[in-house]
Structure 1
Amino acid sequence: METKKLNLKKSFAEFEKGKALIPGGVLGIRRPYNFVPGEFPIYFDEGKGGRVKDIDGNEYIDYLCAYGPTILGNREEEVDLAVINQIQNKGFCFSLTQRYQNQLAEKLNELIPCAEMSLFVCTGSDATTTAIRLARSYTGKNKVMRCGYHGWHDWCVEVKGGIPKKLYEDVYEFKYNSLESLELLLQEHINDTAAVIITPLGHPLAAPIEEPEKGFLEGVKKLCEHYHTVLIFDEIRTGFRVSLGGAQEYYGVTPDLAVFGKAMANGYPIGAVTGKADIMKEGESNVFISSTFFPNSLSYVAALKTIEILEREKVIEAIWKKGAHFNEQVGNLLRKYPVGARISGIPPMMFITFDKDNDGIYKAKRNDFYTELIRRKVFLQPYHHGYICYRHTQQDLDYTISAIEESLIYLTKKYEYKAVL
């Protein structure tokens, strides 16, 4: 039976107001067409732990986790109190840098295999762009081979409006898990490739998550060594979630540089570039890296406290355990109700997608599935993978698994599939 539609009147009214004030009402990936229009809320009001509440008062179990930063939970008291203490007793915006920058860099050196020196920025896009600039300066080369998202800046953004071609004409895409596609590009630009930047875990938009095939990341590293180019791991999503040392630690392949952000500060805005000292030292004088807000210490304090909690409470181990149970149970349901859906990813990061068909029915099934889930107060995104956070309880997971089964039963009946008994 179809579930009753949510009351979202305030959200829709606020959106109409927003469209006259903000281009598109809200920016980028948070616009309604990136969910199921008319079914998902557009404005949240508050959050606590693993749950969020919209401005109409509907409460959801939140598996999008602010697109990744919420590794612990919303309003994590210990982190927030550390930030409040900094505001009230120390301050955070000065002409000179506070010492927390050094403390955080020391911590990254301790945890991350490639880390010898670090610098800190505000966002993931800042970090990837800085890493590319460092690599170009270090090598004296121009070309960049990329595989992943990497942000909204001119050199990599997918939507090219307002960007002259000359700003991205030296950037080429290769296919994840295809060493051949990368080597062909490196051979073509044999003397002018500055960097290869890749997400060590493949998470393409609206497509299943891909783990690296055996030997793939190792092969990428060997190619970079052979062609004398800088290997950059984009760990904005995997950092401090796959393991404390990132996916590079988990998969055992150490890049020259890596970028981190999102989960590192549990929602406070930060990005980091870290790696080999000889490359990082390009930032001393050859590469200009400066912003009024890069040295603001609130995010450093939040990151230090978040990492302290991750270590002390063995948070990542707990998330892997919860996620493994969740993925196994959902996988069993998808086999029981063969509606053309699959779950991909690893325990901390999972994605339920629908296999494409020639008639495009998968799109309707996807919309129906995610509509049924949001009506059951489960906040997952149709085009972006989900996350498990530390404050998701076993009750949350069990309820979600039950909601997924009810949604699959709805699809089975609507599209005339038979359950496997």
Structure 2
Amino acid sequence: MNTQNGVNLWNKAKNLIPGGTQLLSKRPDQFLPGQWPSYYKKAKGIEVWDLDGNRFVDMSIMGVGTCILGYADDDVNGAVKKAVDLGSMSTLNCAEEVELAELLLELNPWAEMVRYAKTGGEAMAMAVRIARAYTGKEKVAFCGYHGWQDWYLASNLADDSNLDGHLLPGLQPAGVPRGLKGTSLPFNYNHINELESIIEKNDIGVIVMEPIRNHEPEDDFLNRVRMIADEIGAVLIFDEITAGWRLTVGGAHSLYNVQPDIAVYGKAMSNGFPMAAIVGKHEVMNAAQDTFISSTYWTDRVGPAASLVTIRKMQENKVPVHLSCIGNLINEGWGKLAKEHNLKIDIEGILPLTHFGFDYNNNQELHTLFTQEMLKRGYLASKAVYVSYCHDEECVGKYMENVDEVFGIVRNAIDQNNVSDLLHGPVSSTGFKRLN
């Protein structure tokens, strides 16, 4: 398969754009260095066409989890085109932002106010700023990955291994003011003792975490975090950017009957168009008036228009139920084929965000071989599958037929101890390493 146009453009981009692209998760070396198609010409449903005219089925991250309905959904695109034709920006505000706020509050009956942003990272920064303004306290206890901003990366000013279990091992906080040292303190999911230890030693005003990511909460973990926040007067922020719309329409936290003070949404809420939302209790959210949080393009019409259609379509079609059913099929397929080929794999994650890992010392080589061989067969495939509404039983069946072949190649390579000989390029980089 020829992907040279994409590879060449990527090599050019590395000299023009720091890091080559805007998002670490989309760097080709995360998947298949020297071979990954890198750029797309068209995307529709679960199919992607690259610059060399190849057509791929996306059984990977689906736009890093943004396109929950599938690429270029007709209904969402129709609403966006109408918004553009009517004018995406004006001196006046668009009425859609009020309509969307009402819908978000209907889905989060514990909340009373909403603010908007365009990406999850900036929305998290906004939420932390609001929470700090409300409590008057600087220190944040957090669990998991929550973006690139100073408030988060400041954790590595105290110890450059602080974020090893949350983001990137050894990530350098270059450019983050040294004065922020000690303001962000990490704890691991399901380790309530770590949070308790932080609370004992620090005056914490904000607690930030995902309600669920790779593992179910244990020992009433979420409720215990909620109780700690209440006891110390801290604002509890749930980052729903990734899991928010996949287990239920709205927040995953609602499944566990635990209410935060602020919930942050992004990614899938607008099916590929820039949009994020901060939903929270009135007394907390109103603290936004005591600080300066404002940006021109937070007022555009496209994001709210896309979100309204996306959310309503998820409701009408019970999209989360479909995602879990397909995710379960994928899990069962991986498990069955691994057993047949005598391969050791670990399967983790919530069903709509399922992923597997080879359980061998050279697992990164094996994953690179898997991605390489699946690409030859017309699949964008990696360790994870972000399930979309366009994934169905038929596409999973065809995917598994190819996984069967590739697992056979992997098994043979392990037996022959020649994995590296089968690779056509370098081993993929480890990228985001999440341990929560």
Question: Residue 245 of structure 1 corresponds to which residue in structure 2?
Answer: 250
Matches within 5 A, 1:402-413: 402-413=401-412
Counterpart amino acid of 1:23?
P
Question: Residue 394 of structure 1 corresponds to which residue in structure 2?
Answer: 393
Report the secondary structure of 2:92's partner residue. Answer: coil
Instruction: Using the TM superposition, give the Cα deviation of residue 11 of structure 1 relative to its aligned residue in structure 2, in angstroms.
Output: 0.8
Instruction: Using the TM superposition, give the Cα deviation of residue 269 of structure 1 relative to its aligned residue in structure 2, in angstroms.
Output: 0.3
Report the secondary structure of 2:313's partner residue. Answer: helix
Report the secondary structure of 1:41's partner residue. Answer: coil
Instruction: Using the TM superposition, give the Cα deviation of residue 214 of structure 1 relative to its aligned residue in structure 2, in angstroms.
Output: 4.0
Deviations along 1:71-99, one digit per CA (max 9) or x if unpaired, are 001111111111111111x2121233211
Residues 1:199 and 2:210 are matched in the alignment: yes
Question: Residue 416 of structure 1 corresponds to which residue in structure 2?
Answer: 415
Question: Residue 364 of structure 2 corresponds to which residue in structure 1?
Answer: 363
Task: Give runs of ≥4 in structure 1 deviating > 4 Å.
Answer: none
Residues 1:254 and 2:259 are matched in the alignment: yes
Instruction: Using the TM superposition, give the Cα deviation of residue 267 of structure 1 relative to its aligned residue in structure 2, in angstroms.
Output: 0.6
Question: Residue 83 of structure 1 corresponds to which residue in structure 2?
Answer: 80
CA distance in 2, matches of 1:178, 1:370: 34
- Retained in 2: the 8 A contact 1:201–1:247? yes
Residues 1:47 and 2:52 are matched in the alignment: no
Question: Residue 176 of structure 2 corresponds to which residue in structure 1?
Answer: 163
Report the secondary structure of 2:123's partner residue. Answer: helix
Instruction: Using the TM superposition, give the Cα deviation of residue 16 of structure 1 relative to its aligned residue in structure 2, in angstroms.
Output: 2.5
Residues 1:302 and 2:306 are matched in the alignment: yes
Counterpart amino acid of 1:341?
I
- Retained in 2: the 8 A contact 1:261–1:272? yes
Question: Residue 156 of structure 2 corresponds to which residue in structure 1?
Answer: none
Question: Residue 145 of structure 1 corresponds to which residue in structure 2?
Answer: 141
Matches within 5 A, 1:248-327: 248-283=253-288, 285-327=289-331
Give the alignment's Cα RMSD to 1 decimal.
1.7
Report the secondary structure of 2:260's partner residue. Answer: coil
Deviations along 1:254-313, one digit per CA (max 9) or x if unpaired, are 111110000000011011111111101111x20211001001011000000111111112
Change (3 A) 1:168 1:45: farther
Report the secondary structure of 2:255's partner residue. Answer: helix
Report the secondary structure of 1:346's partner residue. Answer: coil
Residues 1:342 and 2:346 are matched in the alignment: yes
Residues 1:180 and 2:180 are matched in the alignment: no
CA distance in 2, matches of 1:8, 1:246: 39
TM-score, length of structure 1 as denominator length: 0.90
- Retained in 1: the 8 A contact 2:357–2:363? no
Report the secondary structure of 1:267's partner residue. Answer: coil
Q: 1:58 aligns with which of 54, 61, 80?
A: 54
Counterpart amino acid of 1:46?
K
Counterpart amino acid of 2:87?
G
- Retained in 2: the 8 A contact 1:236–1:261? yes
Instruction: Using the TM superposition, give the Cα deviation of residue 328 of structure 1 relative to its aligned residue in structure 2, in angstroms.
Output: 1.8
Question: Residue 67 of structure 2 corresponds to which residue in structure 1?
Answer: 70
Change (3 A) 1:253 1:229: same
Change (3 A) 1:338 1:147: farther
Equivalenced residues, count: 397
Report the secondary structure of 1:79's partner residue. Answer: helix
Change (3 A) 1:133 1:168: farther
Matches within 5 A, 1:210-221: 210-221=215-226
Q: 1:21 aligns with which of 3, 16, 22?
A: 16
Instruction: Using the TM superposition, give the Cα deviation of residue 67 of structure 1 relative to its aligned residue in structure 2, in angstroms.
Output: 0.4
Instruction: Using the TM superposition, give the Cα deviation of residue 149 of structure 1 relative to its aligned residue in structure 2, in angstroms.
Output: 1.2
- Retained in 2: the 8 A contact 1:318–1:390? yes
Report the secondary structure of 1:38's partner residue. Answer: coil
TM-score, length of structure 2 as denominator length: 0.87
- Retained in 2: the 8 A contact 1:128–1:151? yes
Change (3 A) 1:8 1:174: same
Question: Residue 381 of structure 2 corresponds to which residue in structure 1?
Answer: 380
CA distance in 1, matches of 2:218, 2:109: 21
- Retained in 2: the 8 A contact 1:15–1:42? yes
- Retained in 2: the 8 A contact 1:113–1:254? no
Instruction: Using the TM superposition, give the Cα deviation of residue 49 of structure 1 relative to its aligned residue in structure 2, in angstroms.
Output: 0.5
- Retained in 2: the 8 A contact 1:113–1:248? no
CA distance in 2, matches of 1:405, 1:213: 34
- Retained in 1: the 8 A contact 2:94–2:299? yes
Question: Residue 423 of structure 2 corresponds to which residue in structure 1?
Answer: none
Report the secondary structure of 1:386's partner residue. Answer: strand
Question: Residue 3 of structure 1 corresponds to which residue in structure 2?
Answer: none
Counterpart amino acid of 1:34?
Q
CA distance in 2, matches of 1:405, 1:178: 38
